[in-house]
Amino acid sequence: MGQINNKLAANAIVWLLLLTAPFWMHWVGGYTELGSRVLVMALAAMALNFLLGFTGVLSFGHAAYFGLGAYGAAMTIKYLVPSTPLAILVGVLVGTAAAAIIGTLIVKLRGVYFAMVTIAFGQVFYFITFRWNTVTGGDDGLTNWTRVPIDLGFTKLDILHNPELFYYFILFFFALSVALMTILLRSPFGRTLLAIRENERRARFLGIPVERHIWLSFTISCFFVSIAGALYALLNNFVDPRALYWGLSGNFVIMAVLGGMRSFWGPLVGAVIFVVLQDYVSSMTQNWESFIGLLFVLIVLFFPRGVLGIVRRKVAS
């Protein structure tokens, strides 16, 4: 019983902090956009962890679907209709569809090979956005568009000029995604994914069609990551090919590991630490990359279980 109460308390604290963030962020030196960025990156890392932590599949190419979500949303607003919800919808559709197609090609691979192929495939989309300048803006990115305020009929949500409101807009999608992930992970389907993570051979000989379930998990995971990508484009009112570069995929993975990839909230914790550090360090020095590289090395050598992994061990012992 104690365990269940702990979980409830942890959930309550997480949601309370997220809901009140715009009110206390500036006291600790933050600002609202930083909070929004944390949420977006946390969603991406949690989406990746659906695959990495809960299916045991090593995907290193999630930036591609994040970026496709971002470009889908940005291009919808710029070229099709000035509608924020529609932009998100298109972004998510593009990202998920691409993942579903790529997924069919890679489900037979495992381990480091899966990682290698996912990261390599991500480069296709990178080069498409990089080279197709007339439409995507190429290396300079897609500019001259902004997210659009939402007209609900009875009231108008000015998410463009009110950063707090936009934070809650992102939080709404974050909460929706998290709820969906929770339901999935607690379902019989979610348990088949755990089974594959724990012992693929056993899963197969319990009648679980492993390839099909990995494909589903990959596609679902990319569905969530493309939501994050679409929100990311809206947050910046801008998107460039770096949103799909493989370095970003590595960042998602390190966020999940840093926070603890076996715990549900781990990637959120990892994203908070990573994004805040990034914000702080890159304002101090040119050598953010060395810093983050060092962070990777230190985490691997000294905190492989992540922050929440360590906390859990301390609580257990």
Q: How many CB atoms lie within 10 A of CB 1?
A: 5
Site string for another protein, 73-112 (x = CB under 8 A): -----------------------------x--xx-xx-xx
CA 227 to CA 41: how far, in whole Å? Answer: 11
H or E element: which one contains 301? helix 288-302
Q: Is 153 in the site for another protein (CB under 8 A)?
A: no
Please give the structure tokens belonging to residue 84. Answer: 């924020």
Q: Is 194 in the site for another protein (CB under 8 A)?
A: yes
Do the Cβ atoms of 61 and 122 come closer than 8 Å?
Answer: yes
Q: Is 182 in the site for another protein (CB under 8 A)?
A: no
Q: Phi and psi dihedrals of 261, rounded to 5?
A: -80, -5
* Shorter beta-carbon distance to another protein: residue 156 or 202: 202
* Shorter beta-carbon distance to another protein: residue 106 or 233: 106
Secondary structure (DSSP) of 201-262: HHHHTTT--HHHHHHHHHHHHHHHHHHHHHHHHHHHT-B-GGGG-HHHHHHHHHHHHHH-TT
Give the one residue of 15, 24, 79, 113 binding another protein; rule: CB under 8 A: 113
The residue with tokens 């209709």 is 81
Q: Is 65 in the site for another protein (CB under 8 A)?
A: no
* Shorter beta-carbon distance to another protein: residue 20 or 290: 290
Q: Is 29 in the site for another protein (CB under 8 A)?
A: no
Q: Is 209 in the site for another protein (CB under 8 A)?
A: yes
Q: Is 7 in the site for another protein (CB under 8 A)?
A: no
Please give the structure tokens belonging to residue 245. Answer: 């570069």
Do the Cβ atoms of 32 and 40 come closer than 8 Å?
Answer: no
CA gyration radius for the chain? Answer: 19
Do the Cβ atoms of 228 and 73 come closer than 8 Å?
Answer: no
* Shorter beta-carbon distance to another protein: residue 39 or 261: 261
Q: Is 161 in the site for another protein (CB under 8 A)?
A: no
Residues making up the chain, counted from first to last? 317
* Shorter beta-carbon distance to another protein: residue 124 or 157: 124
Q: Phi and psi dihedrals of 41, rounded to 5?
A: -65, -35
- How many residues form the binding site for another protein (CB under 8 A)? 67
* Shorter beta-carbon distance to another protein: residue 18 or 75: 75
Please give the structure tokens belonging to residue 151. Answer: 């007209």
Give the one residue of 37, 62, 147, 213 binding another protein; rule: CB under 8 A: 213
Paired sense of beta strands 156-157 and 150-151, if any? antiparallel
Q: Is 201 in the site for another protein (CB under 8 A)?
A: yes
Give the one residue of 88, 115, 228, 239 binding another protein; rule: CB under 8 A: 115
Question: By CB under 8 A, which span of 90-98, 207-215, 221-229, 263-271 interacts with another protein?
Answer: 207-215
We find the least distance from the C-beta atom of residue 12 to another protein, in angstroms, to be: 23
Q: Is 244 in the site for another protein (CB under 8 A)?
A: no
CA 255 to CA 197: how far, in whole Å? Answer: 20
Please give the structure tokens belonging to residue 39. Answer: 């949420």
Footprint on residues 277-306 left by another protein (CB under 8 A): 287, 289-290, 292-297, 299-301, 304
Q: Residues interacting with another protein, by CB under 8 A?
A: 52, 58, 60, 102, 105-106, 108-109, 111-113, 115-117, 119-121, 123-124, 127-128, 130-132, 183-184, 187-189, 191-192, 194-195, 198-210, 213, 216, 246-247, 250, 253-254, 257, 287, 289-290, 292-297, 299-301, 304
